[in-house]
């Protein structure tokens, strides 16, 4: 149980285009999902916290107009990188927290590798 999927697993796009990444909790409901970015040989950096039915909360330094997050249902959150540039190339990972539990556990997706040419 507690499986999180991401789609696509890899995407290559031209500079200036927008890319949408989906994060789904397959066998549980997630009121909260998190989006991370990971550069090579670096740790995960939290970008934003996404709560179902409300606006996402962005971390300091993350442009909300560039990284659009939508959490329309309890099993789906999307991250759209708008007008992507080569510096946005990174590994984007989402995680989901089980709804209705008191303990602090996140289940991570397999990640999406974005390459902007």
Partner 1 sequence: QKEVEQDPGPLSVPEGAIVSLNCTYSNSAFQYFMWYRQYSRKGPELLMYTYSSGNKEDGRFTAQVDKSSKYISLFIRDSQPSDSATYLCAIASTDSWGKFQFGAGTQVVVTP
Which residues make up the interface to partner 1 (CB under 8 A)? 4, 6, 32, 34, 41-46, 49, 91, 93, 95, 97, 103-111, 113
For 81, the token pair is: 């990188």
Instruction: Say how far residue 12 (Cα) sits from the centre of its chain.
Output: 17
CB of 6 to partner 1, least distance (A): 8
Select 75 or 95, whichever has its Cβ closest to partner 1: 95
Evaluated on CA atoms 113, 26, 100, 76, the torsion sign reads positive
Residue 83 CB, shortest distance to partner 1, in Å, is 26
3-state secondary structure of 87: helix
Residue with tokens 């990284």: 67
Strands across the sheet with 19-25, in order?
Answer: 4-7, 19-25, 76-81, 67-73
Looking at the Cβ atoms of 32 and 75, the one nearer to partner 1 is 32
Task: Compute the least distance from the CB of residue 19 to partner 1, in Å.
Answer: 18
**Nearer to partner 1 by C-beta: 42 or 83?**
42
| Minimum CB–partner distance for residue 88 and partner 1 (Å) | 18
Nearer to partner 1, 38 or 70 (CB): 38
Quick one: tokens of 39? Answer: 């550069």
């Amino acid at each position: 149980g507690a499986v999180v999927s991401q789609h696509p697993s890899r995407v290559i796009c031209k500079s200036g285009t927008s890319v949408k990444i989906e994060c789904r909790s397959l066998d549980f409901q997630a009121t909260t999902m998190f989006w991370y970015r990971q550069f090579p040989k670096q740790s995960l950096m939290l970008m934003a916290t996404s709560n179902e039915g409300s606006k996402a909360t962005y971390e300091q330094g993350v442009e909300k107009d560039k990284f659009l997050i939508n959490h329309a249902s309890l099993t789906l959150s999307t991250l759209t990188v708008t007008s992507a540039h080569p510096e946005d190339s990174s590994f984007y990972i989402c995680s989901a927290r089980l709804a209705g539990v008191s303990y602090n556990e996140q289940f991570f997706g397999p990640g999406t590798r974005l390459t902007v040419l």
